[in-house]
Structure 1
Amino acid sequence: MELVRAKKHLGQHFLKDLNIAQKIADTLTLQNYCKVVEIGPGMGVLTQFLLQKNTEVYVVEIDRESVAYLEAHYPQLQGKIIADDFLKYNIANSMGEPFAIIGNFPYNISTQIVFKLLELREWVPEFSGMFQKEVAERICEQPGSKTYGILSVLAQAFYDAEYLFTVSEHVFNPPPKVKSGVIRLKRKDNYHLDCNEELFFSVVKTAFNQRRKTLRNSLKALLTDKIKESPIFNKRPEQLAWQEFVAITKMIWQHSR
């Protein structure tokens, strides 16, 4: 069967360096789960190394051409190829137990994949894979930086984020215009926040949607007169660690009731 051609509308850039594929596969610790879900396997450059590990591998692939290629070349995946859109598919229902997520993520949906991970946090103790370098850095960024934002705070509230290594644009076909970065997220032992988590998400997103303003201004619709004088609201969102957003969420929750 011929090779799959990369489709621009799916954000496909096929990794062709086997050493890097092996390195990405090796980022998984395989602790506290028996199943691994790979998103967007394409022609299986990463899949082949995952299949060598002591784990049950499932793949989610929206591209019919890639699905046909995987069916032809990887008989071990029989019954484990999910031909669907990961963002819309109920993967937790299918797995029924904890699972890791891994992939060379399509750039055009990579941030949406992280938001989906956060929805699945009860199920996913570990997540690793390749992003556009600036997105990978943003997820792992610390407070005080211009690139620190919604993704940084939300991911780090529930997971320990680690930037592992950078990948050149020249090891892909077709080559993207930017470098890539590989990260690993390991779920915290206590990943339930000491606040209303739905309100926490809302506070973080509202604050960063007007990131140049102080929190007193960006969050004014949520603040009562009693708490808005607290000095923490003089700060801008990028100055706060996730724990401080938890503290703010608790203040808002307690004074809105």
Structure 2
Amino acid sequence: ATKLVKGILFNTGAGQHILKNPLVVNSIVEKAALRRTDVILEVGPGTGNLTVKMLEKVKKVIACEIDPRLVGELQKRVQGTCLANKLEIKVGDILKTDLPFFDACVANLPYQISSPFVFKLLLHRPFFRCAILMFQREFALRLVAKPGTKLYCRLSINTQLLARVDHLMKVGKNNFRPPPKVESSVVRIEPKNPPPPINFQEWDGLVRIAFVRKNKTLSAAFKSSAVEQLLDHNYRIHCSLHNTEIPENFKIAQKIQTVLKNTGYSEKRARSMDIDDFIRLLHGFNSEGIHFS
């Protein structure tokens, strides 16, 4: 789907919706609490409404844009001004490139890359101070959802393990050109520094299994043959690394259910378990030699 705005064809299929309301732009800049010495990573600068506002306040903005035509617009906009030497433009797909060093990230993201981009940010080192990100409303609400609520999911718990997440404001669709089909929200993400002392691959492996059917008991969720195969394979590797003999009649299914019972989680459901619950459960599995990555 394309739309013509100000002589540029916007590819709405690629999530190109330009934030046009100056009040919303100012509000985002304010909430980012920018400092004079900051290097800002901006993803999806579009025609630069937010970019120009930030350039006035910081040391440098690194703007990542996938669409060469928009890059041209952005360059034209700062050309010959005192802001030009503070702007660095990177053309390309943000998911496929290494992130540069930055203090804060501000982005009006194409919505279809929301989830992979959040995790790319959260696993990025060195740590950055905060990210102020525009998302589709429902995605934003998932990020901040609490255990026991309808939108609580793997995305919620994984994000909240690694960061503090706050819903800052709602942004109606008529603040964009062309207007998207959905409402939007701005969220602040602050990575926990230092991060929790947890192997994220292991953690995510466990959470993934539990949330495939978040309304099922864990006892039922772990009975899937694919899960049993994976954990059996990992367990055998663990035992061979530690020179542990596996008895002839060994059944991974029994071992899994024993861990669930002993930790007290076999009748619990992922939808109502919090971060501490999953940390305890992961520890229970790991201490019995069962691994998820």
Q: Structure 2, unaligned stretches of length 5 or more?
A: 1-5, 232-254
| CA-based RMSD | 2.0
Whole-angstrom distance in 2 between the partners of 1:253 and 1:61? 42
User: Bigger shift: 241-250 or 163-172?
Assistant: 241-250
Residue 218 (1) aligns with residue 218 (2)? no
User: Residue type of the partner of 1:85?
Assistant: D
Residue 195 (1) aligns with residue 198 (2)? yes
1:44-83 aligned at under 5 Å gives the runs 44-75=48-79, 76-77=83-84, 80-83=88-91
Q: Is the 8 A contact 2:214 2:271 kept in 1?
A: yes
Displacement of 1:122 = 4.3
Displacement of 1:225 = 4.1
Q: Is the 8 A contact 1:11 1:108 kept in 2?
A: yes
- Scaled by the length of structure 1, the TM-score of the pair is 0.89
CA deviations over 1:164-190 (Å, ceiling 9, x no partner): 110111111111122111110112243
User: Residue type of the partner of 1:224?
Assistant: I
CA deviations over 1:118-157 (Å, ceiling 9, x no partner): 2316433311121111111110111111211111111111
Displacement of 1:115 = 2.2
Residues 212, 122 of structure 1: CA spacing in aligned structure 2 closer, same or farther, 3 A cutoff? farther
Runs of 4+ in 1 over 4 A off after TM superposition: none
Displacement of 1:77 = 4.8
Residues 194, 29 of structure 1: CA spacing in aligned structure 2 closer, same or farther, 3 A cutoff? same
Whole-angstrom distance in 2 between the partners of 1:113 and 1:123? 15
Whole-angstrom distance in 2 between the partners of 1:231 and 1:99? 42
- Scaled by the length of structure 2, the TM-score of the pair is 0.79
Q: Structure 1, unaligned stretches of length 5 or more?
A: none
Residues 121, 236 of structure 1: CA spacing in aligned structure 2 closer, same or farther, 3 A cutoff? farther
CA deviations over 1:70-106 (Å, ceiling 9, x no partner): 1111243556100010011011xx32xx532211111
Alignment equivalent of 2:279, drawn from 210, 224, 246: 246
CA deviations over 1:1-45 (Å, ceiling 9, x no partner): x653321231111111011011112221347x8321000000011
Whole-angstrom distance in 2 between the partners of 1:225 and 1:206? 14
Displacement of 1:237 = 1.0
1:23-34 aligned at under 5 Å gives the runs 23-30=27-34, 34=38
